Amino acid sequence: MDSNTRIPHRGAVSNATGRFERQRREAFDDGWALDEDDLPPLRTEVAVDATRTIIARNESPDIPFDRSINPYRGCEHGCIYCFARPTHAYLGLSPGLDFETRLLAKPDAAKLLEAELRNPRYRPAPIAIGTNTDPYQPVERRLRIMREILEVLAAFRHPVTITTKGALVLRDLDILVPMAAEGLVSVGISVTTLDRDLARTLEPRASVPAARLQAIRQLAAAGIPTAVMVAPIIPAVTEHELERILEAAAAAGATSAAYILLRLPLEVEGLMAEWLQAHAPGRARHVLSLMAQQRGGKAYDSTFGSRRTGSGPLAGMLATRFRLACKRLGLEERGMALDCTRFRPPPRAGDQLALF
C-alpha cells in the first residue's frame, strides 16, 4: 500500500510493522491493486484486555494529574495524529491501521476500579479519563464500559476529569449532572478544526465539529464545568483556526481552554508524513519543517515542560495568541479544582454500619 492509498473512513494510510517486531512487512504494488472505491470496509475487531488493575499512575511533572483510566487500548476515532498510537507496538500490533481497527476493551474495568477504591490505603485525587485513548469512541455505545466506570465513581463520590472528541458523552448526563453539583467532575471537549471535511480525514470516526460544539453547549447548560481543548494544533493545517475555535467554544458555554501543539513521537512521525502526502502533498514538507522549528530541530522533543507546547519563536507566538484570545473571551487557562473531600466508599450488602 503506497502513501497515496486512502482507506475509506480510516485515518492511517498504512499498517507498518511495530518497532518491536523481528520481521517487517513492506507493501508492494504488483499492479493488481483495487481502486479505492472497490476496497471492502476495514472492520473493527474488539478483543478483551485481561488487565488486573485499572488505575494507571504517572509522575510526569508537566501533567496536572497523577492517575488515569483508559477503558480501551486503541481508538476507533482513527485520529492520524494520536500520540497514543505507538503504544500498540507493545501488543505486537501496528500503530497504523491496527491501532484504529484492532481494539482491546476492558470489560472488568468497573469491578477492578471498585476494588482499588476500597483499598484502605487508597487516597483520592482526580482521576483523568480520555488522556490516552477516547472513552467515548464508537464502540462505547455498545460496550458501555465508560458508563460503568462513571457509576462507580459517582457511588464513591470520587472526582474525575474527562477528555473526549465524542458527543456520546451526552448520554451520561444523568450521572455527570449530580456529580458536577458536588464539584466532582469536569469535561474537556477536544476540537481540532471547525472544517467538517478536514475533520473527516484527520479524525474520521470522531464526532463532527458541530456536534462537539453542541456537546459543549449542552454540558455547560447542565451546569457541568466544560473546557475546550484545541488539540492538537497542526502548523499550516489547523493553526489558523485557533482563535475561531476558542470563539466558537466560548459562545457555546466553555469556561476554560487549553491547547497542545502536534506531537510526533516514534511511529506517529511517519504516519503523519504519509497522511500529508495523501491529503495535502503540496504542504507536506512545509508542515514538517514548521514542526521541527518548534521542536528544537527535531520531529519531536519529549522534554518535560515543552513537549505539549513546543519551544522557539514560533511556539512563543502561538502561546501569545492563545493567551490573548483567552483573555479577550474570558476563558480560564486552568480548569476548576475538583473536591476530593467527599470521597466515601459506599457500604456493601452485609457491611456493618458505622455507629457515628
Of 96, 109, 26, 98, which is closest to residue 269 (Cα–Cα)?
96
Q: Please, what is the average pLDDT of the chain?
A: 93
Across the range 121-138, mean pLDDT stands at: 97
pLDDT of residue 316: 98
| Residue 337 resides in a domain | no
Q: Say what the pTM is.
A: 0.93
DSSP-based three-state secondary structure for 223: coil
| Residue 6 resides in a domain | no
Q: What is the pLDDT of residues 34-83, one digit of tens each?
A: 555 556 678 999 999 989 999 999 999 999 999 999 999 999 999 999 99
Domain carrying residue 216: 42-329
Residue 20's pLDDT band, with cuts at 50, 70 and 90, is confident
pLDDT of residue 124: 98
pLDDT of residue 349: 75
Indicate if the pLDDT at residue 28 is higher than 90. Answer: no
pLDDT of residue 200: 97
Q: Could you give the number of structural domains in the chain? A: 1
Q: What is the pLDDT of residues 308-328, one digit of tens each?
A: 999 999 999 999 999 999 999
pLDDT of residue 348: 86
Q: Provide, rounded to the nearest whole percent, the portion of the chain with pLDDT above 70.
A: 92
The CATH number assigned to the domain holding 91 equals 3.80.30.30
| Residue 26 resides in a domain | no
| Residue 136 resides in a domain | yes
Across the range 153-182, mean pLDDT stands at: 98
| Residue 354 resides in a domain | no
DSSP-based three-state secondary structure for 245: helix
| Residue 31 resides in a domain | no
Q: How far is CA 345 from CA 56, 57, 115, 157, 311, in A?
A: 20, 21, 10, 8, 44
Across the range 132-152, mean pLDDT stands at: 98
Neighbours of 35 (CB within 10 A): 6
Q: Report which of residues 229 and 21 the model is more confident about.
A: 229
| Residue 111 resides in a domain | yes
Indicate if the pLDDT at residue 162 is higher than 60. Answer: yes
Of 249, 280, 227, 297, which is closest to residue 6 (Cα–Cα)?
280
Across the range 25-34, mean pLDDT stands at: 63
The type of residue at 145 is I
pLDDT of residue 335: 81
pLDDT of residue 35: 57
What's the first-to-final CA gap in the chain, in angstroms?
68
138's grid cell: 464508537
Across the range 167-178, mean pLDDT stands at: 98
| Sign of the alpha-carbon torsion through 351, 353, 354, 355 | negative
| Residue 166 resides in a domain | yes
